[in-house]
Structure 1
Amino acid sequence: MHRETLVALDRTTLELIDRYWRAANYVSVGQIYLLDNPLLREPLAAWDVKPRLLGHWGTTPGLNFIYVHLNRIIKERDLDVLYVCGPGHGGPAMVANTYLEGTYSEIYPDIGQNEEGLRRLFKQFSFPGGVPSHVAPETPGSIHEGGELGYALVHAYGAAFDNPDLVVACVVGDGEAETGPLAAAWHSNKFLNPKVDGAVLPILHLNGYKIANPTLLARMDDEELRELFSGYGYEPFFVEGYEPFPMHEAMAATFDTAFDRIREIQSAARRPGAEAKRPRWPMIVLRSPKGWTGPKEVDGKKVEDFWRSHQVPVANARGDAAHRRVLEEWMLSYRPGELFDGAGRLLPEIAALAPEGDKRMGALPHANGGLLKQDLVLPDWKSLAIDVPRPGSPTAETTRYMGAYLREVIRLNAETKNFRLMGPDETASNRLDAVFEVTNRVWMERIEPYDVQLAPEGRVMEVLSEHLCQGWLEGYLLTGRHGLFSCYEAFIHIVDSMVNQHAKWLKTSAELPWRKPIASLNYLLTSHVWRQDHNGFSHQDPGFADFVANKKADTVRLYFPPDANTLLWVTDHCLRTWNRINVITAGKQPQPQWLTAAEAESHCRAGAGAWDWACTCPVGEEPDVVMACAGDVPTLETLAAVDLLRTALPELKIRVVNVVDLMTLQSHTEHPHGFTDAKFDALFTRDRPVIFAYHGYPYLIHRLTYRRTNHHNLHVHGFREEGTTTTPFDMAVMNELDRYHLALAAIRRLPGLAGRAETAVAAIERKLAAHHAYVRQNGEDMPEIRDWQWASK
């Protein structure tokens, strides 16, 4: 167990560090409680206190303590340090420290470095029209939304990848340490290459309690914690105590040791010819009381070093004079007269402890990643396009062409090292393995002679944790780089909550002029619901699109390219965008190819359109029925249904509409990609039946189109939560997305047609019965299904 020999700091420096810490604590308490009288120049009155007290005190003094000690390290060693605040509700600490260092006032000039600025700073916190109580996009120096626990450490590692000169100091709260994503995130050290990456210094902040209970790790003794983190591959150092001055000395000594270790690891790894191996990175376990330096008791009940200090320790300071006295004594215990001058400015000798310029953690460019973002060098996607001599031919694995495109992206950006591909052990499975022609999987563990495509330096990151893939990519994007996450469609739901937080971050960031746009969060969802027939019901879920569609229209995009060339265009487009969440859904199994490169480009730019070559009515003429589709399997089944209908009912006028960009279905008043009513009506008609075959749950199409004139004629077929281990076509039949049900729907929705099409209906129903019997006897689809091809007429 490491407890460093205490190195005595200069007494003056030690006192200045303590005063800076006291100032941060004072400003933090003021944010939670005060409307006015920010320097307590007068006795605290009821009207000085906010009517609603919101905020979290318990974790804040520890966060302030870490921040001031990092300031010393940065100044002495001239380092770039990114502060990732895992206890996100410690918002008062991050705001206080960025205010004291001057960054806050530079970004928000109306909150100046004076008494009036302090008053405004205090009032705005958790106040209508102000800033949230947690660490949020509004907080300078932050890349990490503190509204949900579990993701701090994985974001920290994402920030460190390909940032060789960056140290990410990541504070992990002991409540947060109980979450599953955080537990997995400790393994990120196995992917950090000291030769090309930065460093992450995890600081496990154990203050003993969460909202109303002890925390698990805080009740573990030091020896058990040492064994735990040694097992994770870290070298743990311990700092613990209560008295401020001994704690300052201990923290300074431990930081010096930890940063020395980081420098030694990186220097050794970066020597010419050095062997790449995984080091044992340092981490710190900081034990300090919850609510440290706050009231020890309130109303005779224990507060400091207990869960009652978690949020607002003095709950009724406005309405209860006794509570108000406790608050006043608490704030005066920091001796503000020793911290601020007569004008309310931090005294210059204290302010001098903070780094200067971009070295301040609140002003670090990495925390505003758009400042560092470089556009990707992208290939000409048409040079990688598949030749399509006629619709439906050839048959190919669509995502394999995307893999070739990503290979070129990695090759073209090899020098800048600003693109990574994430995925849970599925790169090859998802047919993206062309990337391995130019790179490998990142692997810092032992490599056996028979292993393939593993190397310490690589652009592909695979781990069987969707949380880690998502978090690494978020941290990577938020610090100015680019990437893509490839995942089985059913299991992307694992990161729903993380996507939710990232979407909120993007929405709020876009409203802050000083936050520069970052590269979009891009997904490829493949191995999708309609081709998970072999894995069965557990792998069949297309609902991520429904979840994403709930987010702000300015943020989300949903793409369903039907073939390889449309997939290439969509991928190229998504990698050029910023501040978006782009979801691309495309299958990896062999399927017909429909559009040439030129046709794909025109179609994708429009977002949706009629495929004239598949229609049975002249261009410009109103159809009897519209057969619409979104998704690769729905497109195939729709065209097969049209083939059935034009053979059985040649007089029927059919328009075939394919939708690539699902958000075109919304009104242009609701989404930037939405069609105007006139454009929508011209495509889908105002009064004709529309049989819409959709990749996912039918309700989403109704949600997007409910205001359209012809919505009452829209009949959507999609996933109906029917699934099992069966044949691909049987999956479609079970959910009535197959060609037979689509053809029957068109016949039955056309007034008067059913009676004239009795023969066709009977033939289709016989085919459904024959299919049912055939697959259950033979275990595969009928030859006429397997071998069907589109025949132009």
Structure 2
Amino acid sequence: MQITSPHPTNPTDDLDLLDRYWRAANFLSVGQIYLLDNPLLREPLEPEHIKPRLLGHWGTTPGLNFIYAHLNRAIQAQDLDVIYVCGPGHGGPGMVANTYLEGSYSEIYPDITRDADGLRKLFRQFSFPGGIPSHAAPETPGSIHEGGELGYALVHAYGAAFDNPGLIVACVVGDGEAETGPLAASWHSNKFLNPAHDGAVLPILHLNGYKIANPTLLGRMSDAELKCLFEGYGYEPLFVEGSEPAAMHRQMADALDVALASIRSIQQNARQPDATVERPRWPMIVLRSPKGWTGPKEVDGLKVEGFWRAHQVPIANPRGKPEHLALLEAWMKSYQPETLFDAQGRLVPELQALAPKGARRMGANPHANGGLLKRELKLPDYRGFAVEVTSPGKTIAEATRELGKFLREVITLNADNRNFRIMGPDETASNRLDAVFDVTERVWMEGIEPYDVHLAHDGRVMEVLSEHLCQGWLEGYLLTGRHGLFSCYEAFIHIVDSMFNQHAKWLKVSRELPWRRPIASLNYLLTSHVWRQDHNGFSHQDPGFVDLVANKKADIVRIYFPPDANTLLWIADHCLRTYNRINVIVAGKQPAPQWLSMKDAATHCDAGIGIWSWAGTEPADEEPDVVMACAGDVPTLETLAAVDLLRKDLPDLKIRVVNVVDLMTLQPRSEHPHGLSDRDFDSLFTADKPVIFAYHGYPYLIHRLTYSRTNHAGMHVRGFIEEGTTTTPFDMVVLNELDRFHLAIEAIERVPGLSVSAAHVKQKFRDALIEHARYIRAHGEDMPEIRDWVWPNSSGGTTPAQAGD
């Protein structure tokens, strides 16, 4: 696109000052990588001034500093509300340098003063033991995105812009990052951004041409090819390219003015009364600049600037090689620090004046510390959505369908403040949450045909067939102060394993920073789960995401297995009220027996684990012969069916039924705040009786959580053992030996003396398994006695454990 600035700058305007500001940021960035002392080079540089280990990345940093300085100029001139998302993974030196120059860094960290002593501390702490990371981490003011793992900058930026009508999110996308799958899909986020009520994202593709040791794909593409690519994505690209600073400043100032004028025009047109809103062509900037710009051209006779050798530490050994030390000193002095900082080491006043003030500084913008803006989510009384349960197992309902009704009301209550969204990969209806479509639609800025269903330019549901985008949008939305839910098929949530990891790490560090205010929790609803993917087959059968979740810090993660609709409603309400956590809820969507009234469900969920006295046969004053434990809706069904078999065939067997809804209660209290004390754990599971534990996922996780318990040796866990196919629902549990017959047989085998005396009962159950295999192959469905099984009449009630919060 031809760049003609709507606000043409005079050649003698402040671009010379802007260049000095950029040089100050570059100087501070180099200092962080290299220096322990002598921060302003006011004495000759000596080996002892150099860090013994040089860690950090220079290559992308000067370009990031260049962009930051120009955004400052635009914010000042137009009083803009802007945050900066730094995609290039190793841009930490630049982000720290710029927030220090604008003053926000020293306000948060008063020990890093704006003088020579503060500079010394600033340099020393970078990538140094006890200091700060090399990325734009939670410790960095103004950051909502850590570039340690590449691919997520643009999707985070769009998540931040949704429902933030006054915000502009400047997102720098590195050309290395642009090669990742998630980033490539993220360009399509513009099809979900509504200019009438959302903010704007200004992507800035930073082409410096090289990754760690190779050229980048986009960096080698011609401008003509890039123009076609991004026009195809729906953008209007503006090109800024070169290496001569004065000309580059002029180009960037003009391009930024054009882009901002375009954004302003798009939004003004969309926000007119009775405006017809269609998907606009949003602007973006393609910035070509040399990797390691303004750094050493060559080191030891080898090309550095404009090449991959500039990626990390261009001058490798200034502490040990005099020629390297001299080269570093010359490099740093080329920025003329004596013209940038006064006698006390403070940025000179005319450069300080270039930074925005107060909350307009990108390092102090409250959207980048979203807890400052977080409003409480309005929630209905979950009890009003209860499924009536007069006797355990008699009522049949779909748990997630009932949750959909609750979420419908959540959307209604928060419609005015636009504070809640549901994300999912084209599965909201499939996962039985379609009641939400009574009050909202799916966001869709592309064309809408008359026969389309539940598509609109405005809506609270966001669906795209990319788990990466769903997760990234929600993270950006939460990090800027809002609330949401991510619904996904259980097997395919693994696609975002690494994104979950990064968000968990972000929360872990953020909780340790008093200035980072709490944000709403990231809530996952995993359904269409392993035990009810019999129709889609083995590819859709994997319950292992919770194993990954359980690895994280106890203060961060929670894992819930509601056995029915009422427990799911209680848990969903609870999770939506929490903050600074990741909550994983695994719940089925198929018609299933309902076990607990809402009153009993609330009691049970509040404890997280409990004895279902109505299901067991143990006398009140005696210990059981066997404990039948379960976690998950299908394991609970099969456990209760197994208990029913044992009650009928072995009426003298004393059985206790324990249901686990909060998986983390199994850990010791010392390991997790929800964990049971050893005394409470033993009171539930006994100290020496066999425990037959039917678990939703891979069995080893239960062993891992309970390994230190008194009765761990007595824990016999059955779960998913990687057997699956397209088959009947009951055959899925049979294949994995989690069915009622295998559970009952194991109980008989584990109770001392029973294996011999009840051999005829075991044989009966084995015969039933043989008959099951014959029947499904003949009829293609489960036996009637399996399909139609119901729990015998009983009065309700649970005995909750004395668990934690």
The verdict on a shared fold, with TM-score over 0.5 as the criterion, is yes
1:694 aligns with 2:695: yes
Q: Give the drift of 1:12.
A: 4.9
Q: Deviations over 1:17-48 (max 9, x none)?
A: 00000000000000000000000000000000
Q: Deviations over 1:255-295 (max 9, x none)?
A: 00000000000000000000010000000000000000000
1:752 aligns with 2:753: yes
Conservation of the 8 A alpha-carbon contact between 2:511 and 2:518: yes
1:23 aligned counterpart, secondary structure: helix
Q: Deviations over 1:170-224 (max 9, x none)?
A: 0000000000000000000000000010000000000000000000001000000
Question: Quick one: structure 1 residues 274 and 624, their matched pair in 2 at CA, closer, same or farther if it must change by over 3 Å?
Answer: same
Task: Return the alpha-carbon distance in structure 2 between the equivalents of residues 611 and 40 of structure 1.
Answer: 73
Task: Return the alpha-carbon distance in structure 2 between the equivalents of residues 610 and 366 of structure 1.
Answer: 46
If the length of structure 1 is used for normalisation, what is the TM-score?
0.99
Task: Return the alpha-carbon distance in structure 2 between the equivalents of residues 697 and 3 of structure 1.
Answer: 58
Matches within 5 A, 1:272-671: 272-671=273-672
Task: Return the alpha-carbon distance in structure 1 between the equivalents of residues 202 and 122 of structure 2.
Answer: 30
Equivalent residue pairs, number: 793
- Aligned match of 1:681: 682
Task: Return the alpha-carbon distance in structure 1 between the equivalents of residues 620 and 476 of structure 2.
Answer: 49
Task: Return the alpha-carbon distance in structure 2 between the equivalents of residues 298 and 172 of structure 1.
Answer: 28
2:584 aligned counterpart, secondary structure: strand
Task: Return the alpha-carbon distance in structure 1 between the equivalents of residues 4 and 124 of structure 2.
Answer: 42
Task: Return the alpha-carbon distance in structure 2 between the equivalents of residues 309 and 755 of structure 1.
Answer: 75
1:109 aligned counterpart, secondary structure: coil
2:486 aligned counterpart, secondary structure: strand
Q: Give the drift of 1:15.
A: 1.1
1:202 aligns with 2:203: yes
Matches within 5 A, 1:231-246: 231-246=232-247
- Aligned match of 2:801: none
Task: Return the alpha-carbon distance in structure 1 between the equivalents of residues 267 and 255 of structure 2.
Answer: 18
1:282 aligned counterpart, secondary structure: strand
Q: Deviations over 1:481-534 (max 9, x none)?
A: 000000000000000000000000000000000000000000000000000000
Q: Deviations over 1:210-248 (max 9, x none)?
A: 000000001000000000000000000000011001100
1:613 aligned counterpart, secondary structure: coil
1:169 aligned counterpart, secondary structure: strand
1:11 aligned counterpart, secondary structure: coil
1:93 aligned counterpart, secondary structure: helix
Task: Return the alpha-carbon distance in structure 1 between the equivalents of residues 416 and 248 of structure 2.
Answer: 44
2:652 aligned counterpart, secondary structure: coil
Conservation of the 8 A alpha-carbon contact between 2:398 and 2:590: yes
Task: Return the alpha-carbon distance in structure 2 between the equivalents of residues 275 and 504 of structure 1.
Answer: 43
Q: Give the drift of 1:759.
A: 1.5
- Aligned match of 2:164: 163
Task: Return the alpha-carbon distance in structure 2 between the equivalents of residues 592 and 689 of structure 1.
Answer: 27
Task: Return the alpha-carbon distance in structure 2 between the equivalents of residues 261 and 620 of structure 1.
Answer: 77
Task: Return the alpha-carbon distance in structure 2 between the equivalents of residues 745 and 264 of structure 1.
Answer: 70
1:239 aligned counterpart, secondary structure: strand
Q: Deviations over 1:350-402 (max 9, x none)?
A: 01000000000000000000000011010000000100010002111110011
If the length of structure 2 is used for normalisation, what is the TM-score?
0.98
The root-mean-square deviation of aligned C-alpha atoms, in Å, is 0.8
1:83 aligned counterpart, secondary structure: strand
Q: Give the drift of 1:10.
A: 4.8
Conservation of the 8 A alpha-carbon contact between 1:612 and 1:619: no
- Aligned match of 1:211: 212
Conservation of the 8 A alpha-carbon contact between 1:2 and 1:236: no
Query: Residue type matched to 1:554 in 2?
Result: D
- Aligned match of 1:64: 65
Conservation of the 8 A alpha-carbon contact between 1:697 and 1:718: yes
Q: Deviations over 1:558-594 (max 9, x none)?
A: 0000000000000000000001010000010000000
Task: Return the alpha-carbon distance in structure 2 between the equivalents of residues 137 and 89 of structure 1.
Answer: 14
Conservation of the 8 A alpha-carbon contact between 1:9 and 1:249: no
Task: Return the alpha-carbon distance in structure 2 between the equivalents of residues 427 and 684 of structure 1.
Answer: 38
1:390 aligned counterpart, secondary structure: coil
2:203 aligned counterpart, secondary structure: strand
Query: Residue type matched to 1:375 in 2?
Result: E
Task: Return the alpha-carbon distance in structure 2 between the equivalents of residues 406 and 661 of structure 1.
Answer: 21
1:612 aligned counterpart, secondary structure: coil
Q: Give the drift of 1:85.
A: 0.2
Q: Give the drift of 1:409.
A: 0.5
Task: Return the alpha-carbon distance in structure 2 between the equivalents of residues 151 and 671 of structure 1.
Answer: 30
Question: Quick one: structure 1 residues 62 and 521, their matched pair in 2 at CA, closer, same or farther if it must change by over 3 Å?
Answer: same
Query: Residue type matched to 1:21 in 2?
Result: W
Structure 2: gaps of 5 or more residues: 795-805
2:82 aligned counterpart, secondary structure: strand
Task: Return the alpha-carbon distance in structure 2 between the equivalents of residues 563 and 10 of structure 1.
Answer: 70
Task: Return the alpha-carbon distance in structure 2 between the equivalents of residues 598 and 749 of structure 1.
Answer: 35
Conservation of the 8 A alpha-carbon contact between 2:3 and 2:258: no
Task: Return the alpha-carbon distance in structure 1 between the equivalents of residues 531 and 724 of structure 2.
Answer: 9
Q: Deviations over 1:705-736 (max 9, x none)?
A: 00000000000000000000000000000000
Conservation of the 8 A alpha-carbon contact between 1:567 and 1:586: yes
Conservation of the 8 A alpha-carbon contact between 2:562 and 2:571: yes
1:250 aligns with 2:242: no
Query: Residue type matched to 1:25 in 2?
Result: N
Conservation of the 8 A alpha-carbon contact between 1:203 and 1:286: yes
Query: Residue type matched to 1:540 in 2?
Result: Q
Task: Return the alpha-carbon distance in structure 1 between the equivalents of residues 399 and 131 of structure 2.
Answer: 49
Task: Return the alpha-carbon distance in structure 1 between the equivalents of residues 755 and 14 of structure 2.
Answer: 90
1:575 aligned counterpart, secondary structure: helix
Task: Return the alpha-carbon distance in structure 1 between the equivalents of residues 117 and 381 of structure 2.
Answer: 56
Q: Give the drift of 1:620.
A: 4.7
Q: Give the drift of 1:319.
A: 1.0
Task: Return the alpha-carbon distance in structure 1 between the equivalents of residues 791 and 316 of structure 2.
Answer: 72
Task: Return the alpha-carbon distance in structure 1 between the equivalents of residues 4 and 465 of structure 2.
Answer: 37
Task: Return the alpha-carbon distance in structure 2 between the equivalents of residues 159 and 196 of structure 1.
Answer: 13
Conservation of the 8 A alpha-carbon contact between 1:137 and 1:509: yes
Q: Deviations over 1:142-182 (max 9, x none)?
A: 00011100000000000000000000000000000000000
- Aligned match of 1:2: 2
**Between the two proteins, what is the percent identity of the paired residues?**
75
Q: Give the drift of 1:88.
A: 2.4
Task: Return the alpha-carbon distance in structure 1 between the equivalents of residues 673 and 81 of structure 2.
Answer: 39
Q: Deviations over 1:727-759 (max 9, x none)?
A: 000000000000000000000001110111012
Structure 1: gaps of 5 or more residues: none
Task: Return the alpha-carbon distance in structure 1 between the equivalents of residues 178 and 187 of structure 2.
Answer: 10
Task: Return the alpha-carbon distance in structure 1 between the equivalents of residues 160 and 450 of structure 2.
Answer: 31
Task: Return the alpha-carbon distance in structure 2 between the equivalents of residues 152 and 9 of structure 1.
Answer: 34
- Aligned match of 2:50: 49
Task: Return the alpha-carbon distance in structure 2 between the equivalents of residues 277 and 496 of structure 1.
Answer: 35
Query: Residue type matched to 2:762 in 1?
Result: V
Task: Return the alpha-carbon distance in structure 1 between the equivalents of residues 216 and 203 of structure 2.
Answer: 18
2:84 aligned counterpart, secondary structure: strand
